[in-house]
Amino acid sequence: MDNVIRQALEHGKPSVGTWLNLGSPLVAETLAVAGFSWLCIDAEHTAYDLGEIAHCLRAIEARGALPLVRAWDHEPTTIGRLLDAGARGIVFPHVSTPEQAEAIASAMRYPPRGSRSVGTGRCSLLDPNYRQLANDDVLCIPQIEDLEGIGNAEAIAAIDGVDIGFLGPGDLAMSMGVETGSEPHEAALQAFRQGCERAGTPSGIPTADGPTTTRRIQEGFLFIDLTNDMRLLQEGARVALSQIDA
C-alpha cells in the first residue's frame, strides 16, 4: 500500500493534488491521468452519495493516484464507512480543538491504537494485509477554519494520529470578519503553519494557481490542494473562448 503523500512528506517534499466537486468518476479519472498525485472527493459541499464516492475511489486508484475524501461530519460511523469504501485518508472540516482531533484520529485506527470497527468492506481488496497496514497508512487531516483552531494549531497538530494540518482559508476569513488575503488573514495562515511546524507535523493549504502554489511551498506548506475540478473546467473554457479571433 504505497502512499505517495506520506512518501513525499516524510522526505520534506511537497505533495500536490486537487479537489473533486463535480461528482463524476470520469472527471476523477481524467485528473488522475493528468498527473495529480492525489485527489480529494469533497463530500462536505457536494451531492455525492456513498455509491458515487466508491466509484470515484475506484477511478482514482485505477489511474495510480491516491484517493482522499473530505467528510461531512466527525461521526465515527461516517469515518468507518468512508475508510471501508477505500478512502486512504480523510479531511475533516471545522476542527477547532485538540479534543476533536483526538476523537477523529482514534476513529480512523483499529484497536488497540484506536476505535475503528472491523468489517468487510472494499478496503479489504486494497491489500491482503489491509488490517495490519491500515493504521500506518490512513491519513488523518483536520481542517482548521476559525480563530479557535488557529490558536490551537500546535496542540491539534501534536495529537498522536494527526498526520497533516490543513487550512480552510475561506471560512477562516469569514469567521474573522476580514477579506481573504488581508494582512490579519495572512498572519493567521502563517501562525497556523508555524504551529504545525513546532509540532513536527506537515501543514497544507488550498491554492488557486501555479505561482501561488510555488509561493506557499517556499513558505513551508507541503500539502497543497491546487484548485478543483470545477474551477479547472471553468478556467479552461474561459481561456479557450478568449483565444477565438472572430
User: Which residues fall within 8 angstroms of residue 75, CB to CB, at 6 or more apart?
Assistant: none
Q: Which helix (H) or strand (E) holds 144?
A: strand 139-144
Is beta strand 165-167 parallel, antiparallel or unpaired with respect to 89-92?
unpaired
Domain total in the chain: 1
Question: What are the angstrom distances between the C-alpha of 73 and each of 46, 77, 133?
Answer: 13, 10, 25
What cell does 186 get?
Answer: 495572512
**Domain extent for 204:** 4-242
45 is catalytic: yes
Any idea what the CATH number is for the domain that residue 57 is in?
Answer: 3.20.20.60
Instruction: For residue range 187-215, list pLDDT tens digits in order.
Output: 999 999 999 999 999 999 999 999 999 99
Q: Is 94 left (phi over 0), alpha (psi -120 to 50) or beta?
A: left
Neighbours of 121 (CB within 10 A): 17
The answer, yes or no, to whether the previous bond of 184 is cis (omega within 30 of 0) is no
Give the pTM.
0.97
Q: Going residue by residue through the chain, which has 246 residues, state the pLDDT in tens, using 9 for 90 and above.
A: 899 999 999 999 999 999 999 999 999 999 999 999 999 999 999 989 999 999 999 999 999 999 999 999 999 999 999 999 999 999 999 999 999 999 999 999 999 999 999 988 999 999 999 999 999 999 999 999 999 999 999 999 999 999 999 999 999 999 999 999 999 999 999 999 999 999 999 999 999 999 999 999 999 999 999 999 999 999 999 999 999 998
Catalytic residue among 45, 74, 94, 185: 45
